[in-house]
C-alpha cells in the first residue's frame, strides 16, 4: 500500500509517465481541431480552448509557472482529474451532468492558486499535509482580504472541489480532512447572505434604449444596403474580380493606364485621391482600378507620370458605391462612401444588427454571437419566423455541439430576419459576427472568420455604433441622437434584461416598425419555456413587481393626498384595491419565490390604458367574453383593443378625463370638417358625444358637484 510519505517521491514520476498524454484526451473537441497540437500533460502551459463550447469566450490557458513549484505537482494531478473524471456528487450544485465544464476548471485553477500560495507561505508543500486547523486559518485569511463576497465564495468552492475529487486522486494528493469546514457551504463561509437567483444586470436606460433601437432599425433598413453594396464592390476591386477590371486583363501597366484615362475622360470619372493630401493621387487604389495588386508600388514612374499629366480631376478619396438610402426624407450622406470609411461603416452596420437580433429575440449575447450562416428558418405549418442556433447556457454542453446542425429554435419578428439577411450578404464567413472581415487590412489571417464577438468586442462595437450615430446625425437642439447610458457602457447582457422591462411597461411608439410588445413577450417566453429555462420569466416577474409597486404608490398618493376623483362602474373597487395596496410596507427580496409571492400579494390588477382604467375582474371583462366568442384564448389580463365602453370593469381617473379633454377638440373639428368623408365625420361625432358623456358623468359624480354642459364647465 502506498503511504503519503512514499507518494512524495513517486508523484513526479507519475506525471512523467503521463507527460506525452493529451490533457483533453477525454473531452469533446471543436470541429477541425488538430490533435497533434493539443497540450500534453508534461507541458508548462495547458490550453483548454479546444474544448470550449462557445466561439465568443476568451481562450482558456493554464500557466503552471504561476504555481509554487513544490505544490504544482499535486494541483496538476487535481486539474487533470477534473478534466478526466465525472462531476463529484459531493459538490451537489448540479445534477445530470457528466463532467465539470472547462470554464469551471479554469476558475478552480485561478482560485486554487491563492490557496497554493498561502500554503507555501505557511511551509506546507503537499496537499496531504493540509488538515482542519489549516483550513480554519485559511478561512480567516480569505475573510481578511479585500475581495467581494462572490470571490470569497469561489475561493472556498475551489478548496471544496479538491476535497470532492478525492476519490479520483492518489492518496498523496488528498487533503487530510473529513469534509472542509464541517460541511458549511461556501456562501455561509463567505458571509454572503444572498440566496436564490437575482439578476444584477443593469437595464439600459429608457432614454438610451429607445433611440438606440430606432437608429439600429434605420441603419439596417436605410443605410445598411448602401454599405453592403459598397463593401461588395470594394471586395471585388480588391480581389481583382470586379467586372470593370476585365478589360485590362493581359495588358502592360502603361497600356492599362492609357485605357483607363481615355475612359475617365469620356465618362467624367475622377482619379482616386489621398484623403489626407488634397490633390494627390492615391496610387494603390488607382492600381486597384486597373486590376493590379492594391499596393503603393504597383505602378511605376511611367504610368504615374501619365496619370499626373492627364489633367483629370483628383477626388477627395476613393469613392465606392452610391447613396440611395434616406433618413427623414433626405439622403443619409451627400457623397459616396470612401474606401477608408468602409471598414468602420461595416462594423457600425454589424453592431446595429447585433442590437436588433439580441434585443428583439431575447437571446443571450453568447447565443447571438455564435449564430451561423443559414440560421434563418420558417415554421412550415404556422409560418412563424425562426432563428436556429445553439443554447448558450447549460453545464452539459460540449465543444462538439458548435458544428452540429443548429437545433435550438427561437421565434422572432421580421426585423431580426432582415438583420441576419444583411449580415449574410456583408461577408462570406460562417459565423455572422466575425471578429475580423476580409479586406479590412492587407493581410489574411488563418483564423479569420473562425472567432466571433466576445464581451470586449461587443462593448467596443456598440460604443462605435453610438459614437458614429452621434457624430453623423446631430438633432437640431444639439443633443446626442443616442444619449449615453447613465449607469455604465452598453454590453450584450443588458439587452435581455431591458427587454423584460419594456415588455412589462409597454411604452407606446417604442419601435418604429410597429412591433407589438405583447406579441414579442409571447415569443420570448415560449422560446425559453420550451427548454426549461425560466430565468427569462424571472426577469419579467421582477420587472412587473417593480412596476406594480410604483403604480400602486402613485395611485394611492393621487387618491389620498391630491384627492383625485374616480368615476365609472368600477370606481369603488378601484379605491378599495388601491387603499389595500397602500398597506404594503416593503420586503427584502432574496429569492425568486419571494418575487412571485409578493407579486401575488401586492398586484392590484389595475391597468391604466388610453383615457381609461381597467379594474380587471375576469368574470365581468367584456374583452374576455368577446375573445371566447371568437374562439380565441382568453388571457389573464385585459385587452384594450377589445375594450367596450359598457364594461363593468371600467373606471375613469382625473388623468383619464384630462386625456379625453385633449382628444375632444380634435374629434369635434373632424366631425364638422366638410372636407372629411361623411362616414368619418359621423364616427368622429359619435366618439365626441361618447367622450362628452364620460366627462359629464365624471364631473357630476364629484363630492362637490359642478354643473357641466357638453363636457365643459358651464
With cut-offs at 50, 70 and 90, classify the pLDDT of residue 29.
confident
pTM of the model: 0.65
Cβ–Cβ < 8 Å for 52, 401: no
**Could you identify the residue written with the cell 371600467?**
650
* Angle, CA 658 vertex, CA 652 and CA 664 arms, to 5°: 105
The 8-class DSSP code of residue 452 comes to B
Q: Specify the CATH class of 337-529 in words.
A: mainly alpha
Is the confidence at residue 440, as pLDDT, over 70? no
**Better-predicted residue by pLDDT, 33 or 441:** 33
Q: How far apart are CA 82 and CA 99, in angstroms?
A: 7
pLDDT recorded at residue 195: 44
What mean pLDDT comes out for the span 642-658?
A: 92
Q: How far apart are CA 109 and CA 45, in angstroms?
A: 12
What mean pLDDT comes out for the span 30-37?
A: 79
pLDDT recorded at residue 604: 86
Rounded to 10 degrees, the C-alpha dihedral 667/670/671/677 comes to -140
Q: How far apart are CA 428 and CA 432, in angstroms?
A: 9
Note the pLDDT tens digit of each residue in 80-108: 999 999 988 888 655 556 888 888 999 99
* Domain spans of the chain, in order of start: 4-189, 236-324, 337-529, 535-713
Count of beta carbons in the 10 Å neighbourhood of residue 326: 12
What's the grid cell of residue 435? 471578429
**Better-predicted residue by pLDDT, 50 or 164:** 164
Sequence-distant (≥ 6) Cβ neighbours of residue 530 within 8 angstroms: none
pLDDT recorded at residue 403: 59
pLDDT recorded at residue 55: 62
What mean pLDDT comes out for the span 214-227?
A: 95
Query: Do the strands 566-567 and 606-608 form a parallel or antiparallel pair, or are they unpaired?
Result: unpaired
Q: How far apart are CA 573 and CA 577, in angstroms?
A: 6
What mean pLDDT comes out for the span 232-256?
A: 92
Mean pLDDT of the chain: 83
Phi, psi for 408 (deg, rounded to 5): -100, 110
Q: How far apart are CA 512 and CA 354, in angstroms?
A: 17
Q: How far apart are CA 554 and CA 287, in angstroms?
A: 69
**Better-predicted residue by pLDDT, 21 or 526:** 21
Is the confidence at residue 532, as pLDDT, over 60? no
Instruction: Output the DSSP codes for 10-52.
Output: HHHHHHHHTTTSBTTTTS---TT--GGGS-BTT-SEEE-GGG-
The 8-class DSSP code of residue 2 comes to -
Note the pLDDT tens digit of each residue in 596-609: 677 777 788 898 88
With cut-offs at 50, 70 and 90, classify the pLDDT of residue 689.
very high
Cβ–Cβ < 8 Å for 460, 490: no
DSSP 3-state assignment of 152?
A: helix
* Angle, CA 543 vertex, CA 567 and CA 550 arms, to 5°: 40
Amino acid at each position: 500500500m502506498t503511504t503519503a510519505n512514499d507518494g512524495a517521491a513517486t508523484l513526479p514520476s507519475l506525471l512523467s509517465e503521463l507527460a506525452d498524454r493529451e490533457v483533453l484526451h477525454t473531452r469533446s473537441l471543436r470541429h477541425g481541431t488538430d490533435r497533434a497540437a493539443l497540450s500534453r500533460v508534461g507541458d508548462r502551459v495547458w490550453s483548454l480552448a479546444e474544448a470550449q463550447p462557445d466561439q465568443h469566450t476568451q481562450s482558456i490557458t493554464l500557466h503552471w509557472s504561476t504555481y509554487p513549484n513544490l505544490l504544482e505537482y499535486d494541483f496538476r494531478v487535481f486539474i487533470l482529474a477534473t478534466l478526466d473524471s465525472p462531476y463529484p456528487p459531493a459538490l451537489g450544485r448540479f445534477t445530470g451532468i457528466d463532467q465539470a465544464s472547462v470554464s469551471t476548471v479554469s476558475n478552480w485553477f485561478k482560485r486554487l492558486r491563492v490557496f497554493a500560495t498561502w500554503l507555501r507561505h505557511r511551509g506546507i508543500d503537499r496537499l496531504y499535509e493540509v488538515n482542519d486547523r489549516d483550513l480554519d486559518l485559511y478561512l480567516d485569511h480569505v475573510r481578511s482580504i479585500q475581495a467581494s463576497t462572490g470571490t470569497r465564495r469561489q475561493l472556498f468552492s475551489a478548496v471544496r472541489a479538491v476535497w470532492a475529487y478525492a476519490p479520483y486522486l492518489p492518496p498523496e494528493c488528498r487533503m487530510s480532512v473529513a469534509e472542509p469546514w464541517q460541511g458549511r457551504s461556501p456562501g455561509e463561509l463567505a458571509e454572503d447572505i444572498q440566496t436564490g437567483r437575482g439578476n444584477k444586470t443593469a437595464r439600459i436606460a429608457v432614454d438610451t434604449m429607445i433611440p438606440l433601437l430606432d437608429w439600429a432599425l434605420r441603419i439596417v433598413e436605410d443605410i445598411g444596403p448602401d454599405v453592403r453594396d459598397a463593401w461588395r464592390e470594394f471586395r471585388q476591386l480588391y480581389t481583382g474580380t470586379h467586372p470593370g477590371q476585365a478589360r485590362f486583363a493581359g495588358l502592360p501597366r502603361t497600356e492599362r493606364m492609357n485605357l483607363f484615362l481615355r475612359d475617365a475622360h469620356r465618362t467624367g470619372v475622377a482619379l482616386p485621391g489621398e484623403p489626407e493630401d488634397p490633390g494627390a493621387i492615391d496610387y494603390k487604389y488607382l492600381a486597384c482600378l486597373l486590376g493590379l495588386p492594391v499596393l503603393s508600388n504597383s505602378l511605376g514612374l511611367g504610368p504615374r507620370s501619365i496619370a499626373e499629366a492627364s489633367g483629370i480631376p483628383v477626388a477627395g478619396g476613393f469613392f465606392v458605391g452610391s447613396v440611395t438610402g434616406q433618413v427623414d426624407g433626405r439622403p443619409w450622406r451627400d457623397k459616396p462612401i470612401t474606401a477608408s470609411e468602409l471598414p468602420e461603416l461595416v462594423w457600425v452596420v454589424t453592431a446595429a444588427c447585433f442590437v436588433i437580433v439580441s434585443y428583439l429575440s431575447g437571446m443571450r449575447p453568447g447565443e447571438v454571437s455564435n449564430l451561423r450562416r443559414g440560421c434563418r428558418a420558417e415554421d412550415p405549418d404556422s409560418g412563424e419566423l425562426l432563428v436556429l442556433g445553439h443554447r448558450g447556457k447549460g453545464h452539459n454542453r460540449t465543444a462538439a455541439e458548435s458544428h452540429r446542425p443548429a437545433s435550438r429554435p427561437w421565434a422572432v419578428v421580421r426585423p431580426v430576419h432582415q438583420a441576419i439577411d444583411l449580415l449574410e450578404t456583408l461577408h462570406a464567413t460562417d459565423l455572422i459576427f466575425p471578429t475580423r472581415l476580409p479586406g479590412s487590412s492587407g493581410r489574411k489571417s488563418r483564423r479569420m472568420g473562425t472567432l466571433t464577438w466576445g464581451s470586449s468586442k461587443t462593448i467596443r462595437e456598440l460604443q462605435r455604433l453610438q459614437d458614429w450615430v452621434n457624430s453623423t446625425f446631430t438633432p437640431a437642439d444639439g443633443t446626442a441622437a443616442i444619449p449615453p447610458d447613465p449607469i455604465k457602457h452598453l454590453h450584450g447582457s443588458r439587452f435581455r434584461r431591458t427587454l423584460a422591462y419594456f415588455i412589462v411597461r409597454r411604452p407606446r411608439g417604442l419601435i418604429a416598425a410597429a412591433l407589438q410588445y405583447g406579441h414579442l413577450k409571447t415569443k420570448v417566453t415560449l422560446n425559453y419555456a420550451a427548454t426549461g429555462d425560466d430565468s427569462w420569466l424571472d426577469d419579467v416577474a421582477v420587472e412587473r413587481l417593480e412596476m406594480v409597486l410604483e403604480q400602486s404608490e402613485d395611485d394611492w398618493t393621487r387618491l389620498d393626498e391630491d384627492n383625485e376623483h374616480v368615476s365609472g362602474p368600477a370606481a369603488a373597487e378601484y379605491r378599495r384595491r388601491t387603499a389595500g395596496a397602500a398597506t404594503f410596507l416593503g420586503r427584502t427580496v432574496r429569492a425568486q419565490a419571494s418575487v412571485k409571492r409578493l407579486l401575488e400579494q401586492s398586484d392590484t390588477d389595475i391597468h391604466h390604458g388610453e383615457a381609461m382604467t381597467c379594474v380587471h375582474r375576469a368574470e365581468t371583462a367584456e374583452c374576455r367574453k368577446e375573445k371566447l366568442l371568437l374562439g380565441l384564448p382568453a388571457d389573464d389580463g385585459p385587452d384594450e383593443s377589445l375594450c367596450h365602453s359598457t364594461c363593468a370593469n371600467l373606471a375613469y381617473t382625473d388623468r383619464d378625463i384630462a386625456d379625453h379633454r385633449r382628444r375632444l377638440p380634435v374629434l369635434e373639428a373632424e366631425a364638422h370638417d366638410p372636407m372629411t368623408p361623411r362616414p368619418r365625420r359621423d364616427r368622429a361625432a359619435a366618439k365626441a358625444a361618447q367622450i362628452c358623456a364620460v366627462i359629464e358623468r365624471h364631473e357630476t359624480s364629484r363630492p362637490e358637484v359642478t354643473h357641466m354642459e357638453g363636457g365643459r364647465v358651464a
